[in-house]
Amino acid sequence: MTPGKFTTTAQVQKVLPDQSIAPVEITVNDRAATREAIIRKVRSLGHEFVERSGWSARKPKTELADDWDYSMIALHNAGRSYSCGIGSEQMLETQRLHQNKFDDIGYHFGIDCSGTIYEGRDIRFKASSVDKYNTGVIGVVLLNNLTVPEEGSDWITFARKSLKLIGIDTTNSVPALQMDATLNLIIALKSVFFIKHFGGHMEYPKQEGDGKICPGRIGMKLVKNIRIKTDLLKPPTS
C-alpha cells in the first residue's frame, strides 16, 4: 500500500515570558486520512483489503461528484448472472458494465466469497448504486447472486424456475467468510462515520427493475441479521 500523503496546517503563535502556550489546532486532510483508516481497520479485523490498483481498476471516465458525512449503507448482490468466483475479475467485469452507464464502478466496496474486500469507487466520491438515492449512502456489493429463482419477472426468472422444476436449483448461499467480511466492513465504516441506517438495495425508496429484488431474499436475511448485530435502522421511507 502506498503511504498516505496528508496535508497538515498550524498557526504560529508568539510566546511571551510567563505566558502559557495555548493548544495549537492541527488540521489534517480528513478525507484521505479517513480512507486510510478504513483500510487499516478492515485489515486489523483479519480481512484482505485490495485497493483499486490491486485489481487494475480503470480510471473514471470523467471527474466524479464529491460526497461525505455518510449516514447510510446499502447492500447489493452483484446480479443474477454471478456466483462465487475470482473477486478481482468480478470487480473488473462489474466496472466494465457500469461504465456503459456511469463514470465508474457504482459501488464503494465489493466483497467476494472468500471474504476479500475490494475498494470500488473511492469513498470520497458519491456512489451510483441506489437509483436517485446516492447522497450520503455507501454502496457495498457482494460478488454473488443472492436471489431465489422466483424473484423477477423476465426470461432469467423463467429459465431459473424451469431448471428448478427438473431438479436443478440455482439458489446460492452466503459463505461464512463473506458474511464475516460484510459485518466487519460495516464495523470499520461505523468507526469513522456516523452510520444510522443499513438496508438492502430494495429497501430504499422508489427503486425499479432489478433494484426491486436486490440483494435478493438470501441477501435480505443477511441484512436483517446484521441490523440486529449492529443496532442499525432500516433505510428511510422517503
Q: Say whether pLDDT at 231 is over 90.
A: yes
Q: Chain-wide mean pLDDT for the chain?
A: 89
Contact 64, 123 (CB under 8 A): no
Over range 213-225, report the average pLDDT.
96
Residue 205 falls within a domain, yes or no? yes
Question: Is the residue at 37 inside a domain?
Answer: no
Work out the pLDDT band at 9, boundaries 50, 70, 90. Answer: very low
In a domain, 10, yes or no: no
In a domain, residue 54? The reply is yes
Rounded mean pLDDT, 151-172: 79
17-55 pLDDT, tens digit per residue, is 666 655 545 454 699 999 999 999 999 999 999 999 999
The predicted structure's pLDDT at residue 159? 80
pLDDT at 160 over 80: no
| Positive or negative: CA dihedral 97, 156, 213, 73 | negative
What is the domain range of residue 146?
48-230
Provide the pLDDT for residue 172. Answer: 85
List residues bridging with 139 in a β-sheet. 74
Q: How many domains does the chain have?
A: 1
Q: Which tens digit of pLDDT belongs to each residue from 106-146? A: 999 999 999 999 999 999 999 999 999 999 999 999 999 99
Burial class (CB in 10 A: 0-12, 13-18, 19+), 53: exposed
How much is the pLDDT for 11?
Answer: 52
pLDDT at 3 over 80: no
* Strand partners of residue 110: 118, 141
Residue 7 resides in a domain: no
Give the residue with greater pLDDT, 153 vs 114.
114
On whether residue 153 sits in a domain, the answer given is yes
Has residue 8 been placed in a domain?
no
Residue 35 lies in a domain: no
pTM for the full predicted model: 0.84
Q: What is the pLDDT of residues 63-96, one digit of tens each?
A: 999 999 999 999 999 988 788 999 999 999 999 9
CATH of the domain at 178: 3.40.80.10
Taking residues 191-204, report their average pLDDT: 97
Tell me how crowded residue 125 is: count the other CB atoms within 10 A of its CB.
Answer: 17
